[in-house]
Structure 1
Amino acid sequence: MAELLDDAAIASALTDLPGWEREGDAIVRTATLPSFPAAVAVVVRVAEIAEDRNHHPDIDVRWRTLTFRCSTHSAGGITEKDVALAASISEQIDATAD
């Protein structure tokens, strides 16, 4: 099982994850994409990454606005798996937003 990160490690990780914030036992990012199809394309790419890693974020889709919530449920909070997944999600968002 992945080990939980302490508060200092989470705060440090967030400095390298622009747009991400801590909300309780999760890290969260909301992004608005140029269009609904662009938003859905990001969701599909993130789904492929998550499936490959067997680590899945919670995703909320509201037209062009996506909210990603990363938490390792089996560990009861934020682990390095969440930080790594958040970085990959940001890459997908940033590549689409450009």
Structure 2
Amino acid sequence: MKTLPLTPAEIDHALTHLPGWTWNCDALVKTLEFGDFREAMGFMLRAGFEADALDHHPEWTNVYNKVSIRLSTHDAGNKVTAKDVELAGRMEKLRAALTGPT
């Protein structure tokens, strides 16, 4: 069964629960800043396990203490779906556990 893209209204609603995330070029995006490289890598490792559990994998990069994330769903034409919102939410919980509330 094909995954359906969210509507603009659904994405806007989801973003109200995802602080700092934006909708840009058909993806949910955010850059996280950590205390150092080790903390950033710890986040990526934990988030990688969450992504794998969802069978939904991010497009992301790391430079020292920063992790830039872009989430879209390939089998929905590289659009935002509920899978992206779910993974972003899990990433937010992990980030908060590592660095505290924003």
Q: TM-score, normalised by structure 2?
A: 0.92
Aligned-partner Cα distance in 1 for 2:44–2:14: 23
For residues 5-61 of structure 1, what are the alpha-carbon distances to aligned partners after superposition, in whole Å with 9 as ceiling and x for unaligned?
Answer: 010100010011001001111000111001100000000001111111110011110
Q: Which residue of 2 aligns with 1:90?
A: 92
Distance (whole Å) between structure 1 residues aligned to residue 91 and residue 58 of structure 2: 9
Question: What TM-score, normalized by structure 1, do the two folds share?
Answer: 0.96
Question: How far is the alpha carbon of 1:62 from its aligned partner?
Answer: 0.8
Say what the alpha-carbon RMSD is for the aligned residues.
Answer: 0.8
* Unmatched segments (≥5 aa) in structure 1: none
Give how far 1:79 is off.
Answer: 0.3
In the TM superposition, 1:28-47 aligns within 5 A as 28-47=29-48
Cα separation, 1, equivalents of 2:92 and 2:29: 11
Deviating above 3 A after TM superposition, structure 1's stretches of 4 or more consecutive aligned residues are: none
Q: Note the C-alpha offset of 1:92.
A: 1.0
- The runs of 5 or more residues in structure 2 that have no matched partner are none
Aligned length: 98
Q: What is residue 7 of structure 1 aligned with on the other side? A: 8
